[in-house]
Structure 1
């Protein structure tokens, strides 16, 4: 029920635009950043898996070089 409520508010509150391959790439880039909170790629991927599209987009805006081509 909660997922339907989030989806009805805005589709970017779910994760449809980023797949696991993209999350792996982003995690590798974030692990290299000395200002990011974690350096273990598996932990970063685990964090990214639970984020919505909007949260991942906001994170990539904060670390501009993380944008995927």
Structure 2
């Protein structure tokens, strides 16, 4: 094995290691963001569900009033 081949192998290993580190960093960032969203007694999720619930109630009340006016 000559010196050039050895340098090339080392460069490939280093590049692979850097890609792996970036992937781990990105995954860690995603996990940290998820925990941040779920913290504070899940305030974020409660707010999202409340909004969805109010939209659903509004939609259902329109459907009920439509059915009532049609005599169904």
Q: Same fold by TM (over 0.5)?
A: no
Larger RCO (CA under 8 A, 6+ residues apart): 1
TM-score (norm 2): 0.26
Report the structure number with the largest CA radius of gyration. Answer: 2
TM-score (norm 1): 0.26
